Amino acid sequence: MFIGTAAGAGWSSATARRRDRRPRLVAALAASLVSHLVSSLVCGPARADDFTLKTVLFGSLDAGASVFSASGAKIAFDRFERDGPVALVSAGGGLRLEGGAGAPILVRTTTLGAALGGYQFIREWGAVTVFAGPEASWEMLAGTGGQGALPVRMGLRLHGEVWARPSQDTLTTATVILGSARGDAYARLSWGYALFGAYLGPEFALYGDRTDYRKWSVGLHATDYAFGGYRFRLSVGCQIETPRDRLGPTLSFAIWSAL
């Protein structure tokens, strides 16, 4: 587009002035680049740390008349000590006896997996975390007449946890898990007092699913014992399983570590 003589003259004068300032402009750009590089080297690691995913790896075992073990990871997209989104990925398996009292005894083997997303709320007294997401279940029944695999079931899992410290020396925990793949529900409540490097106290747990299997347990636990970069939880007690109505000992063990 033709702008006119005055505009052309103005453009010519500006071009001449830019040519006169070119050495100073190059020097200024070089200084700015050096400053940016130094800033990146000094501040870069801190910024990267702010946005690094925080992960806790865990494993657990519940042993009694039935056995179940699981492992997985909890991931925070910010920091565990702040409010924010979290994820929970887990997989596990176990087996239990069914039948008896005149009915054939069967062994049920179960494999479970879930990938959940959620949010954690951090307060001065503790933390509340809620999760929701898909789960998958695969089971197999085996007995004297042979064995057979059941279809893979998909469903929704809801998971909630509370870790609260009512006082400096006490810890209360509550866990509730509901799953539609197996139509199961699990709940655990515990209280502990700080002694010998852990929180010691009573706990109560129950579990049930759509097969009419029920399990109640009561016992003592030691939670949050630290050793060598790991933390542990151990509980012992007794449990009752129905419909077999068997009373027996139970033991559960958990370990977790932050990466």
Task: State residue 53's pLDDT score.
Answer: 67
DSSP assignment, residue 259?
-
Task: State residue 127's pLDDT score.
Answer: 95
Regions of the chain with pLDDT less than 70 = 1-53, 100-104
Q: How far apart are CA 83 and CA 105, in angstroms?
A: 48
Same domain, 80 and 40: no
Q: How far apart are CA 206 and CA 176, in angstroms?
A: 10
Phi then psi for residue 85, to 5 deg, are: -70, 145
Task: State residue 40's pLDDT score.
Answer: 41
Same domain, 18 and 60: no
Same domain, 102 and 211: yes
Structure tokens at 240: 């009752």
Same domain, 244 and 193: yes
**Ordered DSSP codes for 125-157:** TEEEEEEEEEEEEEEEEEETTEEEEPPPEEEEE
Same domain, 189 and 111: yes
How many domains is the chain built from?
2
Helix (H, G, I), strand (E, B) or coil at 210: coil
Residues 206-244: tens digit of each pLDDT: 999 998 889 999 999 999 999 999 999 999 999 998 877
Residues 6+ apart with CB under 8 A from 188: 173, 174, 175, 203, 204, 205
Domain range for residue 13? 1-50
